[in-house]
Every structure is written in C-alpha cells, then in structure tokens.
C-alpha cells in the first residue's frame, strides 16, 4: 500500500491534491517550477524539493504529474533517468490520456505508468487558489492498457478511493478521450462557433440585446481564454473532428426536416418528432440523478455492491462496469472492491 506521494507541479490541481493527501496522512513530497508556493506548502505538511530530479530520487511510491500538458515532454525527459521504476509508479492528472501515455512511453516510462484524470477544478489557478476540498465528491477516470501491471493500478486506485475518499472508473485511453471530446471538447468548439455566428450577423447588437439565459449558458465556455480552448481541442483533435462532423450532420438533417415538414411529407414530421425524443433517456437520467441527490444516505447504500476483480481480465471487466454506470468506491482488499451503481442512460 502506497504511503509516499510525489507531486510535480503545485498549481490548483496539484496543490489541492498535495494538501488533501497530506491532510489524510500521506507523506507528500512536491516540486514546482518556481519555489514561490513552497513556504505556504510546507505549513501544510508538504515536503518541498528543490529540483525535479531530486523529487524522483526521493523514490516516492507514487509520482503524480500535475504540470501543464505542454510541459510534459520536457518534464518526462528530466524524470526518466532519475526515476526508479521498480519503486515508483508514475501517474498524472491530464485531461487527455492517449497523448500523455504516448509521451510517457517515448520517455521510456510506459512500464510504470497508470493514467488518471480527476473531474475537479474551477475557474481559478495557482497554489494560492488550491483547496483540499476541491476534490470533495470528485470522480476520477483511471486509464490503463493491456500492459498495465495490476499492482500499479491497484496502488493508484486505492490511493484515490481509500486514501483521498474519491470514486473512480477505469477506462482505456481511447474511451476516455472520446468521452471527454463528447462532453467537453466538442461543446467548447460548438460554443465558439455560436459566438462566431453572432458576430457575423449584421444584427448582432440586436441579437445580443434580446439574449437571455439559453444564449448565456450555451456560450459561457466560449468566453474563456480562446488559446486555452484551442490547446484543449488540439490535444484531442481526432475525436473532436469526428464529433463535429456528426453534430453537423445532425443539424443539417434537422434543417432538412424543418424544410420538408409541410404537412405533406409525413417522413419529415416523424423525423422531427424523433429529433426531440432521441435524447429522452438523458432527460430521464438527469431527473433520476437529481432525485437521487435528495435521497438519504441509507437509501443510496442500496445501490452498493461488491466486486471480486478477475486478475485475468480486469481491464475489460472494469471498463464494462464503467459503461454500466458503476463506480469503484473502496478497496476492501487487493482484489475486492465496493461498487456504487448510478442511474443509467
């Protein structure tokens, strides 16, 4: 069982993670690209290390990369000769997983790597904005491949559940990145296209004057730094491209249906009805989830079960479990976990 954690990068995500782990009794070592946060971090029980190489050489059992994605190649190049892969398992918190694994493998560290992506964050940044509570209720996606050693996965997963008190799902990189494109990267592109549509209109000031909640909510993410959005989409570009083509096809098909729905073409009327009913299972899911949040603690226990993880096919078994809306909440021993069932779509 892991007891020492190394953190690379004391920004909002890494700083909050370091503080939460320290508060929960882990030995936490950290390095940051500037020593600015060290004084405050030390007061939170975080051992700050002067060099990145020094952090790796301190041989933490788990070393978590919380640096920006664009710094990943240079950081991995510096870590590679300093890490002892027999002792240290490498992980990260990046929002895309395929690209990170590729970079880790290119640095020769693929054998000791388990990917991770916590669903946590806010609009702030930097250690001064960090807060152990940022991870309250956070779900983590753990990404593995066929070569991932089970013991390394279990170390990371147990740290997240039993250690940090969070829940997790297990995915492969491709599934993670497709899902992230669907619920975040593609929508960011759509929101951007929508404000571009407004700005291209000669009546943009009138439209903006009439705008209410629907417009505000649907364009909010287009107002954040466009360079950050551009980088995020670029890192997951293949999935975003596929989804944008699919969305464009949906919008065109619906436009055709609107054009042909003249009371004569019954097909168009049926297609329009289908357009408005196709997402009903998501509406039901949201209503169920909202109701679920109102149930008392005791009731939610009803959706808990245990699972004995099959050592021969754990990757596919846990991916299938995630697809069924299940989350791992706790390790009971090395192979036995508790599972919480969510409403499904």
322 is a site residue for its own copies (CB under 8 A): yes
CA 322 to chain centre: 14
Q: How far is the CB of 98 from its own copies (least distance, A)?
A: 15
CB atoms within 10 A of CB 216: 10
Q: How many CB atoms lie within 10 A of CB 15?
A: 29
What Å distances lie between residue 219 and 168, 222, 234, 248, 249, CA to CA? 30, 5, 20, 18, 21
316 binds its own copies (CB under 8 A): no
Of 146, 183, 264, 296, which one interacts with its own copies (CB under 8 A)?
183
Q: Within positions 199 to 238, which residues make up the interface with its own copies, using CB under 8 A?
A: 199-215, 217-223, 226-227, 229-230, 233-234, 237
283 binds its own copies (CB under 8 A): yes
Which is nearer to its own copies, 79 or 120 (by Cβ)?
A: 120
324 touching its own copies, by CB under 8 A: yes
Q: Which of 3, 106, 246, 316 binds its own copies (CB under 8 A)?
A: 246
| Cβ-based nearer residue to its own copies, 123 or 333 | 123
Task: Return d(Cα 318, Cα 323) in angstroms, integer.
Answer: 9
**Binding of residue 101 to its own copies (CB under 8 A):** no
Residue 139 CB, shortest distance to its own copies, in Å, is 6
Which distant-in-sequence residues (6+ apart) come within 8 Å of 332 by Cβ? 306, 338
Burial class (CB in 10 A: 0-12, 13-18, 19+), 254: middle
3-state secondary structure of 299: helix
Task: Note whether 250 binds its own copies by CB under 8 A.
Answer: yes
The pair of three-digit structure tokens given for residue 210, joined into one six-digit string: 């009439």
Give the helix, strand, coil percentages of the chain, each rounded to 5: 55, 15, 30
Q: From the list 16, 32, 192, 331, which residue makes contact with its own copies (rule: CB under 8 A)?
A: 192
- Smaller CB separation from its own copies, 147 or 217: 217
| Binding residue (CB under 8 A) for its own copies from 98, 188, 235, 328 | 188
Footprint (CB under 8 A) of its own copies, residues 111-170:
117, 119, 121, 139, 141, 169
247 touches its own copies by CB under 8 A: yes
In whole angstroms, give the CA distance from residue 58 to residue 6: 9
**Part of the chain binding its own copies (CB under 8 A), chosen from 20-28, 45-53, 99-107, 240-248:** 240-248
């Amino acid at each position: 069982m892991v007891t020492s954690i190394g953190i690379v990068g004391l920004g909002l995500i890494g700083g909050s993670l370091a503080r939460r782990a320290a508060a929960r009794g882990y030995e936490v070592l950290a390095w940051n690209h500037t020593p600015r946060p060290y004084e405050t971090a030390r007061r939170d029980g975080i051992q700050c290390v002067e060099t990145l190489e020094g952090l790796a050489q301190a041989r933490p059992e788990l070393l978590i990369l919380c640096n920006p994605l664009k710094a990943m190649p240079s950081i991995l190049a510096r870590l590679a000769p300093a890490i002892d892969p027999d002792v240290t398992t490498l992980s990260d918190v990046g929002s895309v997983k395929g690209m990170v694994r590729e970079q880790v493998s290119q640095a020769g560290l693929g054998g000791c790597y388990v990917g991770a992506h916590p669903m946590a964050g806010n609009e702030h940044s930097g250690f001064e904005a960090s807060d152990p509570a940022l991870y309250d209720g956070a779900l983590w996606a753990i990404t593995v491949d066929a070569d991932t050693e089970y013991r390394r996965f279990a170390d990371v997963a147990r740290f997240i559940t039993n250690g940090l008190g969070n829940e997790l799902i297990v995915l492969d990189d491709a599934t993670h990145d497709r899902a992230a494109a669907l619920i975040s990267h593609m929508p960011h592109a759509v929101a951007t296209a929508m404000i571009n549509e407004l700005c291209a209109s000669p009546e943009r000031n009138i439209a903006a004057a009439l705008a209410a909640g629907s417009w505000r909510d649907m364009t909010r993410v287009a107002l954040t730094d466009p360079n950050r959005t551009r980088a995020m989409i670029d890192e997951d570009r293949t999935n975003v491209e596929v989804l944008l083509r699919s969305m464009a096809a949906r919008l065109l098909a619906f436009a055709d249906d609107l054009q042909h729905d003249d009371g004569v073409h019954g097909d168009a009327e049926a297609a329009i009805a289908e357009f408005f009913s196709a997402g009903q299972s998501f509406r039901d899911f949201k209503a169920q989830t909202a109701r679920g949040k109102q149930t008392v603690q005791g009731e939610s226990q009803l959706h808990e079960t245990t699972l004995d993880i099959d050592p021969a096919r754990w990757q596919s078994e846990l991916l299938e479990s995630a697809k069924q809306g299940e989350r791992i909440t706790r390790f009971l021993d090395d192979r036995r976990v508790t599972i919480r069932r969510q409403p499904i779509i």
